[in-house]
A and B are shown apart, each in its own frame.
Chain A
C-alpha cells in the first residue's frame, strides 16, 4: 500500500503532502528527513530507497524485511516521492508517478511548480482520482483527466 505521497522542490520545500497512514510525529519533521535521504542521491542511482529511518515517523513494520521503501523520481525542480511498503511493486510505483505527472501536465498544460502552489486544491483532486486511501484507483490518464473536467 502507498503510505504517503509527497512533492517537494530541490530546496526541500514541500509542495504537496498526503499521508494515508497516521503519523507518529508531525509531518514538518518528516519531510526534511525524506528530503535529506533523497537529495543526497545522484541521478544515476536507482529510484528506490530502503528507509528504516522512517520507522520513527510511521511506526515500525512488524515483519522482517518489511521496510518502508521510498520510491522517488525527479522532474526538473521537483521531487515526486512515494512512501510504500513491500506489497507494492517498485517499478509499478515508478510508472504511477509518471501517470500522476502526465495527468498534472494535462490539467495545467505544462505543469510547473507554481501551478502546484496556487492550485493546490486541484492537485489534490487529481491525486484523489489516482490514489484513494493508499491504493491505486485509476491509471488511465484519459479517465483521470475526464473526471477532472466532470467536476
Chain B
C-alpha cells in the first residue's frame, strides 16, 4: 500500500545513491526546501501531505534535525483516511503532541475500530501525562466494552498498561481489578496475552485486589497445557502460545503459594506436564527454544511454590543436564535458573554436586555464560564450600574480563566476610583480593577490612604482619597501601619486636610506596607517621624530617597536616598531648556492611519486579519481610481513602458501563470493595435474608435469585465434615462468561471451605452448573463464609452472598433419657454457660401455637428432640453434640417453652461452651420469631 508513493521511493533511492555525506545533505536540503514550499502553497490533497510527511520522517530517521512539518502532521491526524493517519504515528517526541489529544479522543469515541486502534496506538507510543489524564477513561471503556473487537481490546489493554507504567496514579487500579481480571477469560488468546501483561503489572502493586487472577491463571494454564484448548494458529512450533504460558507462570510467582489444595494439585499437574514435555529434546531449534522458555519459567514457579517438593528435585536433575548442554543458550539459562534455585532452596546439596561443572563454566568462552556462573557461585556459597569457591573466584579474577571485575570483587568481599571460618582466612583473602584486582576494589572493601580488624582484637597482630608482607611486594596497589598505612599505624607496635618487623623497617617499606600515591593516600600516611611518633620514639627523627618536607608541598590538605603534625611532634617529651591525640582507636559501632548496601540498592519504578535476588536464602527472606511491610502500608493506604471517598468512587463508576447493571447494591460494592478482612460487602435485601435464614435449618433450597441468575444449595453434613452443592442457574438467553467464584472466610482457623475443583468460567444460556464445596469445621465460629460471584452478562457484575454454613450444621443427634438430661442440665448450670431469651411468637390462624413449625426448626438445626421429658406437650426439649476437628465435641442442651396465652416463648440453651450457647440461641430464635 505504501509502495505506491513513487516520490518517496525516488527520494530514498537518491539518498542511498549519494556517495558522500555532502551529497546526501544536499539532496535532503533540496527536498526539505521543496516540501516547505509545497506546504506554504497550500491546497495539497491527502496523498501529497502524506507523502511529504513520510519524507520528513525518513529524514528524521536518518538522524537529521527536522523542524518543519509538525503542524502539517497535526492536520493530517484529523484526516479521515486511514493510511494518512497512520503515517503520522511513527513520528514521536514532539511538543506538538498536546495538540492532538482532542483529535485522538474523537477517534477513541468513534465507531470505527481501525480509528480506535490507531488512537490507542498513538497514546501507547506517546503517553504523556496530559494525554494520560485526559484519555485514560476512554481507553478503559474500550477495554471493557463488550462490543469491542478483539484487536481493539488488545491494544486498549496494553495502552492502559503503558499509561499505568508512566503514571501509576492515573487510574484507580484496585477498583478496576475485578473488571480487568475478568477479561483474562476471553476466548481470544491474543487478548488474554495482553490482559495478562496488564494484570501482571497491576497485581505487583495491588496484590490483594487482583488475587482473583491466581485462579484464572491456573485455570488457563490447565487448559493450555493439559487440555490443549487453543487455536491452532497460536501454537508456535507446536508449543501452545509460549508467551502466554511464560506470562502466566511469571504472574503466579508474584503471589504466595495458594492454600487451596485443589488449585495446588492442578498447578502441580501442569508443572509436571511441562517438565515431562521437555524431557526429550526435539531436533527443531525453534520448537526447543519455545519449550525451554516455558520450562525455565515453570521451574522458577516450582521453586517459588515449594523449594523442597519432589518437583524441584526433578527440576534440579534437568538443570544439571542443561548446564553441561552443548547449546550455549541452554547453558546460560540453566545457570540462571539454578541460581534461582540456590537462592531459595533449603538444601544446596543437589547444586553442590554440580560444583565442578559450574566452576568450569567460569571459563566458558561466552561472557554471558560466565556472568551467570558467577551469579550462581555467589548464590550457592555457604560455610562449607566458601573457601573453595572464593579461592576459585580469586584465581579466576586475575584472568576475568574487565567488565566483570568490579562486580566480582564486591561479591568475593561479601562472601569472604559472610562465610569466613577464621579471621585469618578472611584477612588473607581480602588482602589477596586487593593486591590482585586493585583498580576494581571500591573504597567500601578496604573500609570494611579496617572496621573488622579494629573490632577484632585477636586479629590485629596477624593482620599487621600479613599486611606488611603484602607491602613488601615490588608493586602494590594503592588500596593496599591505604590498608597498610592504617593497620600499621594502629597496630604496628604489636609486631615491632619481632625480627624483620622493626619500626625502621616498617617505615622504610611504607614510605617507599608513598611516592607512587595520590595526595589523599599520602595524607593518610602522614597520619600513620604521627601515630608512629607516639609509639616508636626511635624513628622520630626520620618522621620529623618527613613532616618538615611536607610543610612545603602545594597541596593544602597535605601541607596543613604536615604543619600540624610537625608542631605536635616537636613538643617536649613530657607533654601528654601527643599521647592523647594518638590514643588507640576505639572499636567501631557495629553496623551493616556497606557492601551489601551497595548491592541491594532500592528501585522505585513500576517495571516488573523480580521475584528473587541473588544470594543465599536469608537474602531472600530479608527481602520478603521488607516487601511484606511495604505491601502492608500500601493496603492500609489504599483502603482508607477508598472508604472515605465513597461518593467519588460512585461518581467515577457512574461513568463506566455499569448503568445497565441490575443490582445496584452490588455495583456499589464494587467501589468500596474489600473491607478489613478482604471480604466484599454482602448483598442485602429482605429476600436474601429470608432465603439464608431458611437454609440455616434446611438442607436444600434457594439461596439467591434475580432476573439473571438463580443460586440453589444442597448440603450434607456428617460430624465436622460437610458437602455443599451449589447450583448456579443462568436464566438469560445468553451465556454468562468469565464466571468467577471466590470464597471469603473470616476465620480460616475455625472453618475451611474449598471448591472441589476449579469452576468452569462459562455458564451456557438457560442451563445450570453445579459446584461442589468441601466444608470442615475446626473450631466454633459465628460468621458464615461469603461466596463472591462475578460474571459478564453484557456488563460486569459482582454478587456476594452468605453461604448457609452455621454452627448447628455440625450438630449430631444424641439420645438422652430424662434423668441423664436433667443431670447434665444441672451440671452445666446457669449463665454464662446458659443463654436465655423470651420473645413473642405468632399463633396460627386457629389461634394455636405452631408446634409443627417449632419442631421443624429445632429438628432442622440438627438437634435431637427428646420426647417424654417435659410433661407439657408444647414444650420441646432437645440435645445435640457439636463436632469440630480441632476442639473436639461440645454438648448442647435446649428447652423451648412457648406460652399461648402470653404469645411469648422462652428459649434456653445450655452448653459447655458459652459461645456455642449464645450462637445457637441466636440462630434458633430467628426462624421461630417469624
Contact = CB atoms under 8 A, between A and B. Distances in A.
Interface of A: 1, 17, 26-28, 41, 44-50, 52-53, 61-66, 85-87, 89-92, 94-96, 98-99, 117-122, 124-125, 128, 132-143, 147, 150-151
A89 B293 contact: yes
A105 B13 CA distance: 22
A92 B125 contact: no
B681 to A, nearest CB: 35
Contacts of A98: 286, 289
Interface string B635-651: 00000000000000000
Leading 5 A-B pairs by shortest Cβ distance: A62-B603, A87-B608, A91-B293, A46-B328, A133-B162
Contact of A66 (B2, B87, B241, B610): B610
B64 to A, nearest CB: 10
A45 B159 contact: no
B290 A63 contact: no
B90 A45 contact: no
A60 to B, nearest CB: 9
A96 B600 CA distance: 32
B82 A142 contact: no
A45 B329 CA distance: 8
A128 B125 CA distance: 10
B289 A133 contact: no
B368 A48 contact: yes
Contact of A121 (B63, B90, B604): B90
A91 B154 contact: no
Nearest to B127: A133
B125 A95 contact: no
Contacts of B296: 89, 91
B207 to A, nearest CB: 17
B371 interface: yes
B128 to A, nearest CB: 11
Contact of A92 (B293, B365, B600): B293
15 contacts: A63-B610, A86-B608, A87-B610, A91-B289, A94-B329, A118-B13, A121-B54, A122-B1, A122-B3, A128-B121, A132-B159, A136-B193, A138-B190, A139-B193, A139-B236
B3 A119 contact: yes
Contacts of A124: 90
A22 B2 CA distance: 28
Interface string B289-328: 1101100110000000000000000000000000000001
Contacts of B613: 63-65
Contact of A95 (B190, B243, B603): B243
Given A62-B601, A132-B162, A45 B365 contact: yes
A91 B246 CA distance: 10
Nearest to A94: B289
B599 A64 contact: yes
A65 B90 CA distance: 33
Contacts of A49: 367-368
Nearest to A144: B190
Contacts of A27: 63
A111 B124 CA distance: 28
Contacts, number: 178
A139 B197 CA distance: 13
A105 to B, nearest CB: 14
Contacts of B609: 63, 87
Contacts of A95: 236, 242-243, 286, 289-290, 293
A143 B233 CA distance: 9
Interface string B186-228: 0001100110010000000000000000000000000000000
B161 A48 contact: no
Interface residues of B, number: 77
A147 B190 CA distance: 13
Nearest to A48: B368
A151 to B, nearest CB: 6
B290 A91 contact: yes
Nearest to A61: B603
B632 interface: no
B631 interface: no
B193 to A, nearest CB: 6
B16 interface: yes
A92 B197 CA distance: 14
Interface of B: 1-3, 9, 12-13, 16, 54, 58, 61, 63, 82-83, 86-87, 89-90, 114, 121, 124-125, 127, 151, 154-155, 158-159, 161-162, 165, 189-190, 193-194, 197, 231, 233-234, 236, 241-243, 246, 250, 286, 289-290, 292-293, 296-297, 328-329, 331-333, 365-369, 371, 375, 403, 599-605, 607-610, 613-614
B333 to A, nearest CB: 6
B124 A62 contact: no
Contact of A91 (B3, B155, B292): B292
B83 A92 contact: no
Contacts of A92: 242-243, 246, 293
B121 A28 contact: no
Contacts of B190: 137-140, 143
Contact of A136 (B83, B124, B197, B368): B197
B614 A65 contact: yes
B287 to A, nearest CB: 10
Contacts of A150: 114
Given A62-B603, A118-B9, A151-B1, A138 B366 contact: no
Contacts of B124: 132-133
Contacts of B243: 92, 95-96, 136, 139
B601 A46 contact: no
A121 B114 CA distance: 17
Contacts of B193: 136-139
A119 B159 contact: no
A141 B601 contact: no
Nearest to A45: B366
A85 B90 CA distance: 24
Contacts of B125: 132-133
Contact of A117 (B2, B3, B16, B602): B16
Contacts of B331: 46
A46 B162 contact: no
B162 to A, nearest CB: 4
Contacts of A41: 366
A44 B632 CA distance: 48
B114 A151 contact: yes
A90 B87 CA distance: 32
A37 B61 CA distance: 22
Nearest to B54: A121
Nearest to A49: B368
B329 A132 contact: no
B25 to A, nearest CB: 15
